[in-house]
A = this chain, B = another copy of it.
Amino acid sequence: MMELDFTQWMAGVQAQVEDALSDFLPAAHLVPTKLHEAMRYTVLGGGKRVRPLLVYASGALFDADPQALARAACALEMIHAYSLVHDDMPCMDDDELRRGKPTVHVAYDEATALLVGDALQAQAFEVLASSDTLPPARLVGMLRLLAQAAGSSGMCGGQAIDLDSVGLSLTREQLERMHQLKTGALLRASVLLGALCGKDLNNAELEALGAYSKAVGLAFQVVDDILDATADSATLGKTAGKDAADNKPTYVSILGLDESKALAEQLRRDAHHALAPFGEQALRLRELADLIVQRKA
């Protein structure tokens, strides 16, 4: 794969993941059809697939098994997709546009959105637990890691802190902590699960990949905040300026635009630095760090 340029590699992974997601989601004609249709509406045909890209990029470090990578990538994307569906609901962010399409509770109804999220979380664990090309002991560890990243000490915990922070003025440290849970935990899980599709990790590898994930996760959020403040809704595929309108603390509101941009660039360099031990095999992870900082949407 290394002979492909980054854009080709990325397009290839995205196409593979789209096919795998379609295979791993229940068919739309199966009962309950409305729920299954809505699950497919939620997951398929959109999104940057950042987490799957991280899985595959990290898998490239150790020539990981493609079947295991597909399952790990889809599990992470399903967890991410469910979190967006629930996050968009009226009792949370009350958003009507996501990935350029009406959100699930708008396209269907609130009860369906609730169930879509719940069912996608279960589906994520089923997809990963059905991997049959990995040593079972390692797979158990991967399932535990996914659960921790998704739960109250990870993504859900970050959402809860985010909710409690509306209207408060957070310090940069508090903001960082919130994002480390809300988006960082799942990005870290993507990097680790991708590598674990290849082999058991020693402490040095865990530490290096953890440092990379931390930098990329924060960079991702800093850039999100920059884009929310500067881009328009059509470009983003979701409502722009939403955070400011909701009075949510952001990097831009705390650091200003210029310092936020400098921080993103610093984090990109930190990410590259963390990958030094892996040499040439880390090409895709380096390119992804660049993409995450330089993206326009």
- A contact set with B: CB distance below 8 Å: 26, 30-32, 34-36, 39, 82-83, 86, 89, 91-92, 109-115, 117-119, 121-123, 125-126, 129-130, 135-137, 139-140, 143-144, 146-148, 150-154, 156-157, 159-161, 163-164
A160 touches B129 (CB 8 A): no
Give Cα A31–Cα B110 distance, bound, in whole angstroms: 29
* Residue pair B147, A129 in contact (C-beta under 8 Å): yes
Q: B130 touching A144 by the CB < 8 A rule?
A: yes
Please determine whether B26 and A152 come into contact, CB atoms closer than 8 angstroms: yes
- By a CB distance below 8 angstroms, the chain B residues around A129 are 140, 143-144, 147
Residues in B whose Cβ lies below 8 Å from that of A126: 144, 147-148, 151
Main secondary structure of the interface of A (DSSP, over half): helix
- Which residue from B122, B140, B160 sits with its C-beta under 8 Å from A115? B160
Residue from A26, A109, A143 with most neighbouring chain B CB atoms (10 Å): A143
B118 touches A91 (CB 8 A): no
A146 to B126, CA, bound (A): 8
Pair A122/B150 contact, Cβ less than 8 Å = yes
Q: How far is the CA of A122 from the CA of B82 in the complex (A)?
A: 12
> In the complex, are the beta carbons of B112 and A114 less than 8 A apart?
no
